[in-house]
A and B are shown apart, each in its own frame.
Chain A
Amino acid sequence: MTLDRAVTDAAAVKSRDLRANVVWMALGISALIVAPYFIYPLFLVKLLCMALFAIAFNLLIGGCGLLSFGHAAFFGSGAYIAAETAKAWGLPFEAAVLAGTVTAALLGFLFGAIAIRRQGLYFAMVTLALAQGVYFLALRLPFTHSEDGIQGVPRGWLLGIVDLRDNLALYYTVAGIFLLGYLFVWRVVRSPFGQVLRAIKDNRPRMISLGYPVDRFILLNFVLSAALSGVAGSLKALGLGLATLTDVDWSTSGEVVLMVLLGGLGTLFGPVVGAALTVSMDDYLAGIGIPVPVVIGLIFIAVILIFRRGIVGEVLYRLSRRGSRIGR
């Protein structure tokens, strides 16, 4: 999927303004710190997990322009493995998250090696088929308990010190990991690796002719995206105590696409906004009895028809236009 030039340019403009970045970062961190005093911490945990998932997904589609239709496989496998290792093996929190992440990364390597040989629609189809395989495994493997899922997952202790049964402690842990994930992606995007990826997205044949091992770059990006999705899934399973078939269902793959499109494909903060909106809507609408998939579907349609840059993307676009008018 091709990203609007305007958004890329706008993002570049924004990144040049380092002071603004620091201010935004400080604001963001402050918001993270005070949020649980205004909003129910477990809701925030769920929100941050989905936001991290969205950021991970955006790494692939924004970075390489590849639409994966099977990212739920990474999110869900992270969830299942973290849940199982914490509950049945008694692993502490950080080890369980690590187990989930590594599983997702390995799966990502496997999927990626197969899928990246194709692009566009065929890539999406391969990832869908592979994810269906994971769904099938989740349905049939004994430890996943198929329709029941893994319930009553203990949160355990963080580093043996912090008791995560306290919602506030859990929240700050998750928020911390989320922040690390966000900063990681931010660094990756601005690194030489990120630049090469952008160049590949813009003109793949040229990069091949220049001698870049294009497939390896894309595969690495894919694995990073999968691993980060695994982190999100693990956090969600441990934080909310539950790993279910929905986590590996193709509807979850679809939902993360919506989050990223809604927030702004290719922007750094967009996926967070998209995830926040989607999760909040899910919660609010379910509470008042309006069919959630209908509203989500309608928003999806509206975003694709009118609103393709997404919320943050649109904001950045307008800002860059204003900047260019003032500057010249």
Chain B
Amino acid sequence: MSLNGLLAQLLLGLINGSFYAMLSLGLAIVFGLLGIVNVAQGAFYMLGAFLAWIALTHFGIGYWPALVLVPLLTALIGIVIERTIICWVYQLDHLYGLLLTLGIFQVMQGMFVYWYGTAGLSYSTPHALTSGHNLGFMYLPNYRAWVVAASLAICFGTWYAIERTRLGAYLRAATENPTLVRAFGINVPLLVTAAFGGGVALAGLAGVLAAPIYQVNPLMGGNIIITVFAVVVIGGLGSILGSIVTGLALGLLEGLSKVFYPEASNMVIFAMMIVVLMIKPAGLFGTER
């Protein structure tokens, strides 16, 4: 395997890892606050890609405006779903929450399969980011470089918002002791809804970023969400930093194993998941809940 080939795989791995990181960030936020594993995160990712495609084909709204509009729209839809459906299971065993979001995922994916089939639609790379640069040791497509840079920025921005801002402090405190935070006068239910919206907005944004790389396909959520679970479990179910680092690391690991044993590359992640669950179930960066 040439250096070129190796680096190409690592780049692909880094890109996959970026999506894993963004999606698991959203999962981690929701899980930290609610104890619910939001399976529908995969569906919101798919929704984001489709909204971008619909915006382009039916409304002529291009990639750059979509980057802003689609996450907002996704957040709105997510908030409506949270307020009407999901909030009813907060008092129950957390497994009901997982099953409920699984149901929501089925409905969302099912609707899009019904409307668009499973063939997949293409979304062209935005004009400004076509072609690429020859770095000597490898060829770097511009769009892929953009995706990595953008996701790193988004992940860092989210991390900063949660760890370094006042609102983030409210969120972290509410994750630990929501009742006490309410007793201080903070509207925690509103905070939870907003955080949920933020979490799914991240998924929607990831969907827009993904559209020019992977085909826009109703099944794209289902394919990725299982891997994202593994990422979140390995990183630590409520840990923000864990999601980011683990997502990127596992993407790279997957890319690396593609070089040596391509068929098993996805299994590497699941093997790691089992190992982590048995040794440190709270995850590499997590704390026991």
Could you tell me which A residues sit within 8 Å of B by CB distance? 1-2, 67, 114, 117-118, 120-122, 124-126, 128-130, 132-133, 136, 140, 250, 254, 257, 261, 291-294, 296-298, 300-301, 304-305, 308
The answer on a CB contact under 8 Å between B95 and A122 is no
Contact of A300 among B106, B233, B267, B271 (CB under 8 A): B106
The answer on a CB contact under 8 Å between B98 and A305 is no
In B11-48, the 8 Å CB interface with A consists of: 37
Contact of A301 among B98, B103, B111 (CB under 8 A): B103
Could you tell me which B residues sit within 8 Å of A by CB distance? 37, 85, 88-89, 93-96, 98-100, 102-107, 109-111, 113-114, 226, 229-230, 233, 237, 263-264, 266-267, 270-271, 273-274, 277-278, 281
Docked Cα-Cα span, A117 to B101, in Å, equals 26
The answer on a CB contact under 8 Å between B102 and A300 is yes
Report the minimal beta-carbon distance from B129 to chain A, rounded to whole angstroms. Answer: 34
Most buried by A among B105, B113, B229: B229
Docked Cα-Cα span, A292 to B94, in Å, equals 26
Contact of A297 among B95, B106, B278 (CB under 8 A): B106
Docked Cα-Cα span, A304 to B85, in Å, equals 10
Docked Cα-Cα span, A130 to B102, in Å, equals 19
Report the minimal beta-carbon distance from A265 to chain B, rounded to whole angstroms. Answer: 11
Given A136-B266, A300-B102, A305-B85, A291 and B110 contact (CB-CB distance below 8 Å):
yes
Report the minimal beta-carbon distance from B83 to chain A, rounded to whole angstroms. Answer: 13
Contacts of B267 in A (CB 8 A): 132-133, 136
Contacts of B270 in A (CB 8 A): 129, 132-133, 136
The answer on a CB contact under 8 Å between A130 and B274 is yes
Provide the main secondary structure of the chain A interface. Answer: helix
Docked Cα-Cα span, A129 to B111, in Å, equals 27
The answer on a CB contact under 8 Å between B98 and A124 is yes
19 CB contacts below 8 A, A to B, read: A1-B95, A67-B95, A118-B277, A121-B37, A121-B237, A126-B278, A130-B274, A132-B270, A133-B267, A133-B271, A291-B113, A293-B109, A297-B104, A297-B110, A298-B107, A300-B103, A301-B100, A304-B96, A305-B89
Docked Cα-Cα span, A129 to B278, in Å, equals 12
The answer on a CB contact under 8 Å between B85 and A301 is yes
The answer on a CB contact under 8 Å between B226 and A120 is no
Contacts of B96 in A (CB 8 A): 1, 304, 308
Docked Cα-Cα span, A294 to B95, in Å, equals 21
Contacts of A298 in B (CB 8 A): 103, 107
Contacts of B109 in A (CB 8 A): 293
Docked Cα-Cα span, A133 to B263, in Å, equals 12
Report the minimal beta-carbon distance from B262 to chain A, rounded to whole angstroms. Answer: 11
The answer on a CB contact under 8 Å between B229 and A294 is no
